[in-house]
Amino acid sequence: MKYYFKEYEKGYQLLKKKNKSIWAELFSEEFSFDKFDMLSFMEQALPLISIKNKHKRALEYGCGTGAGAYYLEQNGFIVDAIDISPTAIELAKEIANQRESKVNYILGDVCNSSLKNINYDLIVDNYCLQGIVTDDDRKRLFSFIHSNLSSIGYYLIGSVIFKEDRVYEDCYFDEESGKCYVEIIDKLNEYEDKIQINNKYYIPERKHPKPENLKLEVGKC
Ligand SMILES: C[S@@+](CC[C@H](N)C(=O)[O-])C[C@H]1O[C@@H](n2cnc3c(N)ncnc32)[C@H](O)[C@@H]1O
């Protein structure tokens, strides 16, 4: 399992302890299960999407506790939703039970998923992509999208991207790649993707590409 997944599992254990319902609530009181970060974007985007199939199929990857997946279901989709964190999936299933939702929650890594040729009409990334940082994982993710999205399907991405005035206090930010690196001081052998700068070691923790670079990257898949 990739090193950056541990942070999510820890976050969801905290979320469970604090009785909160979505990831963003860990950082701001303004969010809730029915008021998730990507909601206003989804409200604007879904009416623009035209899917002719009687049974519309959607996938949300990095679904967390399922706020986006539930919203898609409420909007007429049959939904699969995948997340790497066992605690997130456990909470998502609990909430689904309470709300009588039929979303199919799957515990797994979208970069190494065995799902194949599903032909989804819609795939949604609801703030997962910035946490998938290594070049290999991103290639695997986009190849997954390519093989599971219908040729006339839609791919919606809500993600953190490059911002000129963002301050990276504890990180080294490489503007060229959009990768945000944090220093590591022990267990150096565990990190394949580490880089060395002035005798210090760093690993990529986030990726905030410029919009045009993200467009190119997605276009290549
Ligand atoms: C910022 S959180 C957003 C969660 C959720 N979409 C929401 O809006 O509440 C990013 C999510 O992506 C999940 N994630 C990160 N890498 C993943 C991967 N490779 N496969 C599946 N899920 C992943 C994390 O566990 C986490 O739940």
3 state SS of 24: helix
Contacting residues for 203 by C-beta, under 8 A, at least 6 apart: 3, 181, 182, 184, 191, 193, 194, 195
Give the residue, out of 1, 7, 23, with the most ligand 1 atoms within 8 A of its beta carbon, to mutate for a pocket test: 23
82 CA → ligand 1 middle, Å:
8
In a domain, 73, yes or no: yes
150 CA → ligand 1 middle, Å:
23
List the domain range (segments joined by +) for residue 19.
5-41+54-159
Checking if the pLDDT of 2 tops 80, the result is no
Please state, for a pLDDT cut of 70, what percent of the chain lies above it: 100
| 122 shares its domain with 155 | yes
| 35 shares its domain with 87 | yes
172 CA → ligand 1 middle, Å:
23
174 CA → ligand 1 middle, Å:
23
62 CA → ligand 1 middle, Å:
3
| 31 shares its domain with 122 | yes
What number does the ligand 1 atom closest to the CA of 141 have?
Answer: 19
pLDDT at 191: 81
C-alpha span between 32 and 16 (Å, rounded):
14
Mean of pLDDT values over 177-191 = 87
| 146 shares its domain with 187 | no
Contacting residues for 66 by C-beta, under 8 A, at least 6 apart: 60, 81, 91, 92, 95, 96, 101, 103, 105
pLDDT at 1: 61
Contact 82, 66 (CB under 8 A): no
Beta strand spans in 13-66 (E): 56-61
What number does the ligand 1 atom closest to the CA of 24 have?
Answer: 9
3 state SS of 168: coil
3 state SS of 39: helix
In a domain, 179, yes or no: yes
| 123 shares its domain with 32 | yes
What number does the ligand 1 atom closest to the CA of 2 have?
Answer: 19
What number does the ligand 1 atom closest to the CA of 37 have?
Answer: 8
In a domain, 94, yes or no: yes
199 CA → ligand 1 middle, Å:
32
Q: Give rounded-to-5 percent helix, strand, coil for the chain.
A: 35, 25, 40
**Domains in the chain, number:** 2
Mean of pLDDT values over 163-171 = 88
Contacting residues for 99 by C-beta, under 8 A, at least 6 apart: 70
Beta strand spans in 159-215 (E): 172-174, 179-184, 195-197, 200-207
pTM of the full structure: 0.94
- CATH number of the domain residue 34 falls in: 3.40.50.150
Residue 79 binned pLDDT confidence (cut-offs 50, 70, 90) = very high
109 CA → ligand 1 middle, Å:
9
Q: What angle do CA 64, 66, 71 make, to 5 degrees?
A: 140
What number does the ligand 1 atom closest to the CA of 36 have?
Answer: 8
**Residue with more model confidence, 186 or 27:** 27
- Residues facing 125 on adjacent strands: 61, 157
Q: Which residues line ligand 1 (CB under 6 A)?
A: 8, 22-24, 36-37, 61-64, 67-68, 82-85, 88, 109-111, 126-128, 131-132
Residue 115 binned pLDDT confidence (cut-offs 50, 70, 90) = confident
End residue of a domain, out of 102, 126, 159:
159
In a domain, 164, yes or no: no
pLDDT at 4: 77
| 154 shares its domain with 195 | no
Contact 87, 105 (CB under 8 A): no
Phi, psi of 142 (to 5 degrees): -70, -30
